[in-house]
Chains A and B, each alone.
Chain A
Amino acid sequence: MNAKKLTCKVASIGAWGSYFDSWEALQQLLSGSATPDIRNKGPKPTIIPPNERRRAPLPVRLAVESSWQATQAANISPETLTCVFVSGLGDTDLTDYMCKVLASEHKELSPTKFHNSVHNAPAGYWTISTKTMTAANSVAGFNHSVSLTLLEAMIQCESENVPIMMTFYDAPVTSILQPLLSNNEAFAFSIIIYPKSSDINGISISACVNSNEYKAWPTLHSTNSDICSLYEENPSAKILCLAELLTSKKDGAGISMPLSAATSLSFERN
């Protein structure tokens, strides 16, 4: 059996990073604007109740911020969305906290930090804050996090005929692990997709899995060096190549990205 072509409509996008706090601001950087001098501190998504927000780790706040932006941009009720959250690196600050405490004599962990350390903490905070009871997935794919999540979300959208929100997020890596996982930038990006048959307004994209065909990540068109280094080092920021495709004015434009050691995922704007 050959891989079926997957098609969906992109309804809306949310984005947050150190020098952009919305999809509009990110689009300006992608199209060549200079990086602002002032860097944003961590996001404070208002959808998380204040008590919870204070204790929410950065990766959770990143993911919830861009997710909330995406739902607000298209006036979509969050609880109607099935979601897939992905981070290539996880919450290394909490890994660092736990490993330091556990390497010490008194191995007493904070219960809140422990339950926040699960990889699906952003999915948990999101579903709790928005009262979403649909399926919430939380996945990891290291350097292939973006392509694997796009595949997972587009298949789910088509096979179950439901709208899906996917959220990509990665936070700066803690110092001890930094030599291995060298990401210094916070980034989050959310895309809400609908089945191709839905009557929403949105850009239609198609994806194909190609076997025995490895592709490297494409070079960005953006000339902003901060955007290019973000794309290079933050596993979730690899979504920027698709972001560029979505902003390109050319129908029929396409990109390919690596999916595994011997497969690639190619996208076309319909």
Chain B
Amino acid sequence: MNVDIIDYESCTAAGINMSSLREALQQQQSGLIKNNLPYSELDTWIGSVPDIDKVTDLKEWQSRNNALAALGLEQGTLRQTLTKLINQYGSARIGLVMGSSTSSIDRTETAYTDLDDTGVLKPKYQQKQVHNPHAPSLFVSHYTGIEGPALTINTACSSSAKVFATAARWLEFGIVDAVLVGGVDTLCLSVLHGFNSLQLLSSNPCKPFDQHRDGINLGEASGFAILQRGGESSNSKGIRLAGYGESSDAYHMSHPHPEGLGARMSMTQALKRGNLNPSDIDYINLHGTSSRANDLIEGQLISDLFPKTTVCSSTKAWMGHTLGAAGITEAIIAMDSLLTGFIPGSMNLDSLDHALDFSIQAQSSSKECKHVMTNSFGFGGNNCTLLFSKVS
């Protein structure tokens, strides 16, 4: 694997950009609030991004999901980096891989509440490029001017982890010279009421891996990273995608494999591809949704596979489970620790599940990290693990 990460940004309830996210992580300041989504009276907590409401000028592209993608793309130096790459290589040589689970179903929901008297979509909602699962890539290509291949990966909660694997393969085969990868998912009634129907939502702020955890909180996020073949950029941050693993549980649509066989495969594959041993991994940002099942199974796997020198945490208590955007959000938190040496704790962890025994604590820590990992597991039993390393 020889792929450099040359820029990245994250936009969540914990902060609309990297600098505010870093501050929130350091201050242990959660972005979760009591559910206030219009027309939803569910008793739960959510991680919403209020600034989305300010993005109202997308015209035929307008949707909450596209607005969050646009907001995320305006953070940090993403636009400058992209412009430079487009000027250098040409827009046809820049690729795009987006991950999402909701795409723009928020807009379809709104359109259905506002049909005309004959039950037809009103003209303002007749947006064919928005009401389809590829909407995030269609919009981001339009917004950024990227004209190379643009693919959307929709594998539920592993979507925006898998974007890194696809991008790495495109770069390896010279299909493009740089890839913008991203993930975007927004809070909408489908996900809130859908997860409620599965009795997975907590009425409290989530407590990943805690003995008394009682469910998940949903959040919304966009995250982006720009990838190039190793050594081709003068702008390198010194972070390399070192490996990835992709697997299936082959067990159940919405319940993880009881022994975590698929998750084990994705982690061991990533290590093998990265030519690393478990003891080489300094930090793992876990999937850690705060559901009873996920955290028990993932935690048991971690204690089975990794030594206690590998520090772990779930950061979902900061911004909630951001579904199709969770993969890249947590990949970014993990890779950022390679630069800062700051490892976020597992906020809201009071007492570790009694059945678990691995290196996780509520408090943050400092450590010079060389290799970090992150897990993302989705409905349909879809798993992805990413490995990032520091290059000197």
Contacts and interface: CB of A to CB of B under 8 A. Distances in A.
Nearest to A136: B248
Interface stretch (B165-173, B299-307, B314-322, B354-362): B165-173
Given A118-B154, A263-B148, A111 B198 contact: yes
Nearest to B177: A1
Contacts of B346: none
B4 to A, nearest CB: 14
Contact of B131 (A108, A110, A158, A181): A181
A180 B126 contact: yes
A262 B91 CA distance: 8
B132 A159 contact: no
Contacts of B253: 115-116, 118, 121, 124-125, 128
A158 B156 contact: no
A4 B247 contact: no
Given A115-B379, A133-B250, A152-B166, A102 B193 contact: yes
Contact of A176 (B109, B120, B155, B189): B120
Contact of B149 (A118, A123, A263): A263
B190 A127 contact: no
Contact of B120 (A100, A117, A151, A179): A179
A124 B381 contact: yes
Interface centre among B93, B131, B133, B246 (most CB of A within 10 A): B133
Nearest to A127: B248
Given A103-B113, A148-B149, A176-B120, A141 B134 contact: yes
B341 interface: no
B173 A102 contact: no
B92 A212 contact: yes
Given A102-B109, A118-B154, A159 B173 contact: yes
Given A148-B149, A155-B173, A179-B126, 18 more contacts: A95-B105, A98-B105, A114-B194, A115-B198, A118-B378, A118-B380, A127-B381, A133-B248, A135-B246, A136-B380, A139-B152, A142-B129, A142-B138, A176-B112, A177-B121, A260-B150, A261-B147, A263-B149
A144 to B, nearest CB: 8
The bracket for how many chain B residues form the interface is 35 or more
22 contacts: A4-B173, A79-B250, A88-B132, A88-B134, A102-B190, A107-B40, A114-B197, A115-B253, A120-B154, A123-B248, A124-B380, A124-B381, A133-B262, A135-B248, A138-B153, A138-B154, A138-B380, A140-B103, A140-B132, A180-B126, A180-B128, A262-B147
B249 interface: yes
A257 to B, nearest CB: 12
B92 A262 contact: yes
A72 interface: no
Given A115-B253, A180-B126, A180-B131, A133 B247 contact: yes
A259 B152 contact: no
Interface in A27-43: none
Interface string B179-209: 0000000000110011111100000000000
Nearest to B125: A180
Interface centre among A4, A128, A138, A176 (most CB of B within 10 A): A138
Interface in A215-270: 259-263
The bracket for how many chain A residues form the interface is 35 or more
Contact of B251 (A120, A128, A156): A128
A159 B101 contact: no
Given A87-B133, A179-B126, A139 B175 contact: no
B119 A176 contact: yes
Contacts of A141: 134, 137, 150-152
A109 B250 CA distance: 25
A82 to B, nearest CB: 8
Interface in B15-37: none
B139 to A, nearest CB: 11
Interface in B54-109: 90-93, 101, 103, 105, 108-109
Contacts of B213: none
B265 interface: yes
Given A115-B198, A139-B154, A180-B127, A120 B382 contact: yes
A132 interface: yes
Contacts of B153: 137-139
